[in-house]
């Protein structure tokens, strides 16, 4: 079966795009975005020595937006630049070289190169191709899905994974303290050092009818948290109080999303953010989210210290794999 990659479709769609990519007016970004900088996703300086201040800022952002950007986060800018360089180079390889990493149609695993084949409700498709592979822990890595070309792909990705731990630990510590827990309790509830880092590269080719399409439709991430770096083409949007806002591109910042598992562990105090991605008429947009997830067989539920008679659990406890299964198959949680 010939698989249609969006990158190929973009090559011959110079003025118009196929009908299945055209969104209803309820979704079209040009019609549904708040114009002007009315409100913005908070920007937090992680190097501020006043930890209480950082905790307050993270609690505020995680309760009100479910998303924030962090600057001075400790990952060297050069490490991020090199991660982006090799990811972009992979997508610029000829189609047949990329297809060597294609996710096989019947595979249970999400890893590999691909394009979402299943259409969404209303029969629409997203303007994006992707590559998924785990980058941590080493025992979970399947190198068959890591491109061999460019040759520095592996080294640059390993370098990024290594530097992520500092940010992840800091974020979990602040999220934990912000709920009145001990600094390590939130991370422990998510699997501690067994947490899995799943990297995705989103490749959104330029799109002649960008106002009518979406790169990723509105969703919340299933992960605990997601840490994303984009290229310099703005496109990410966050939903707050039923309105869509552009998330500003800030060079060298990391964009942190609160995912469903943190919402559950916090018993709803922190909100998993509804977000989507636009595409661009002139430029290719690329983004590198890392989904920081509990191990698949870990049971996740509201933290016992956060529930009592006055605050009953708002979510069921279940294995992370079970949560993902229900969400992907759209069955009730």
Q: What is d(CA 225, CA 281) in angstroms, rounded to the nearest whole number?
A: 30
Question: Are the C-beta atoms of residues 39 and 246 closer than 8 Å to each other?
Answer: no
Q: Is 111 in the site for Ni ion (CB under 5 A)?
A: no
Q: Choose among 211, 207, 250: nearest CA to 229.
A: 250
Q: Choose among 216, 301, 209: nearest CA to 261.
A: 301
Of residues 163, 200, 240, 316, which has the active-site annotation?
200
Q: Is 221 in the site for Ni ion (CB under 5 A)?
A: yes
Catalog residues that contact ligand OGA under the rule CB under 6 A.
Answer: 200, 202, 216, 221, 228, 230, 235-236, 275, 277, 287, 289
Q: What is d(CA 224, CA 51) in angstroms, rounded to the nearest whole number?
A: 22
When the beta carbons of 134 and 303 are compared against ligand OGA, the nearer one is: 134
- Binding part of the chain for Ni ion, among 23-31, 70-78, 145-153, 215-223 by CB under 5 A, reads 215-223
Measured CA distances, 252 to 43, 68, 80, 142, 318 (Å): 12, 14, 8, 29, 36
Q: Choose among 98, 39, 80: nearest CA to 287.
A: 80
Q: Is 260 in the site for Ni ion (CB under 5 A)?
A: no
When the beta carbons of 168 and 290 are compared against ligand OGA, the nearer one is: 290
**Non-local CB neighbours of 261 within 8 Å, separated by 6+ positions:** 190, 222, 223, 224, 293, 294, 300, 320, 323
Minimum distance of Ni ion from residue 183's CB (angstroms) = 27
| One-character DSSP codes across 151-171 | TTHHHHHHHHHHHHHHHHHHH
| One-character DSSP codes across 275-301 | EEE---SSS-EEEEEEEEE--TT-EE-
**257 by DSSP, 3-state: which?**
strand
* Residues comprising the chain, all counted: 333
205 contact choice in ligand OGA, Ni ion, none (CB below 5 to 8 Å, kind-dependent): none
Minimum distance of Ni ion from residue 85's CB (angstroms) = 23
281: annotated active-site residue: no
Select the residue whose beta carbon is closest to Ni ion and give its number. 221
Minimum distance of ligand OGA from residue 291's CB (angstroms) = 8
Write out the two tokens for 322: 């079970």
277 contact choice in ligand OGA, Ni ion, none (CB below 5 to 8 Å, kind-dependent): ligand OGA
Of residues 130, 133, 221, 257, which has the active-site annotation?
221
- Binding part of the chain for Ni ion, among 22-30, 42-50, 216-224, 279-287 by CB under 5 A, reads 216-224
When the beta carbons of 67 and 306 are compared against Ni ion, the nearer one is: 67
Of residues 88, 165, 219, 318, which has the active-site annotation?
219
Question: Are the C-beta atoms of residues 37 and 121 closer than 8 Å to each other?
Answer: no
Minimum distance of Ni ion from residue 202's CB (angstroms) = 9
Minimum distance of ligand OGA from residue 221's CB (angstroms) = 5
222 contact choice in Ni ion, ligand OGA, none (CB below 5 to 8 Å, kind-dependent): none
200: annotated active-site residue: yes
271: annotated active-site residue: no
**Non-local CB neighbours of 161 within 8 Å, separated by 6+ positions:** 135, 136, 197
When the beta carbons of 1 and 121 are compared against Ni ion, the nearer one is: 121
Minimum distance of ligand OGA from residue 228's CB (angstroms) = 6
When the beta carbons of 221 and 263 are compared against ligand OGA, the nearer one is: 221
Select the residue whose beta carbon is closest to ligand OGA and give its number. 287
Applying CB under 5 A, the residues found at the interface with Ni ion are 221
Residues labelled catalytic: 200, 219, 221, 275
């Amino acid at each position: 079966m010939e698989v249609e990659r969006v990158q190929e479709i973009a090559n011959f769609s110079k003025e118009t795009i196929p009908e299945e990519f055209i969104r209803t007016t309820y979704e079209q970004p040009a019609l549904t975005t708040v114009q002007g900088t009315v409100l913005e996703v908070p920007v937090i300086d992680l190097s501020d020595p006043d930890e209480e201040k950082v905790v307050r800022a993270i609690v505020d952002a995680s309760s009100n937006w479910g998303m924030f950007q962090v600057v001075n986060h400790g990952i060297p800018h050069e490490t991020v630049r090199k991660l982006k360089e090799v990811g972009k180079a992979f997508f610029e390889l000829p189609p047949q070289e990329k297809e060597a990493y294609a996710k096989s149609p019947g595979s249970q695993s999400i890893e590999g190169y691909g394009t979402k084949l299943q259409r969404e409700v209303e029969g629409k498709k997203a303007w994006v191709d992707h590559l998924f592979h785990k980058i941590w822990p080493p025992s979970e890595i399947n190198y068959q899905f890591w491109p061999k070309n460019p040759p520095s792909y592996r080294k640059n990705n390993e370098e990024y994974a290594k530097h992520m731990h500092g940010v992840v630990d800091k974020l979990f510590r602040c999220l934990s303290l912000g709920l009145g827990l001990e600094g390590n309790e939130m991370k422990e509830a998510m699997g501690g050092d067994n947490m899995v880092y799943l990297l995705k590269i989103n490749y959104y080719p330029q799109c002649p009818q960008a106002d009518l399409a979406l790169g990723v439709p509105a969703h919340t991430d299933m992960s605990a948290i997601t840490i994303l770096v984009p290229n310099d083409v703005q496109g990410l949007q966050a939903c707050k109080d039923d309105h869509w806002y552009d998330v500003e591109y800030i060079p060298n910042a990391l964009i942190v999303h609160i995912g469903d598992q943190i919402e559950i562990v916090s018993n709803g105090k922190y909100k998993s953010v509804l977000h989507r991605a636009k595409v661009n008429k002139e430029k290719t947009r690329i983004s590198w989210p890392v989904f920081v997830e509990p191990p698949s067989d870990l049971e996740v539920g509201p933290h016992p210290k956060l529930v009592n008679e006055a605050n009953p659990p708002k979510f069921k406890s279940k294995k992370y794999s079970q949560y993902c299964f229900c969400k992907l198959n759209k069955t009730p949680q």
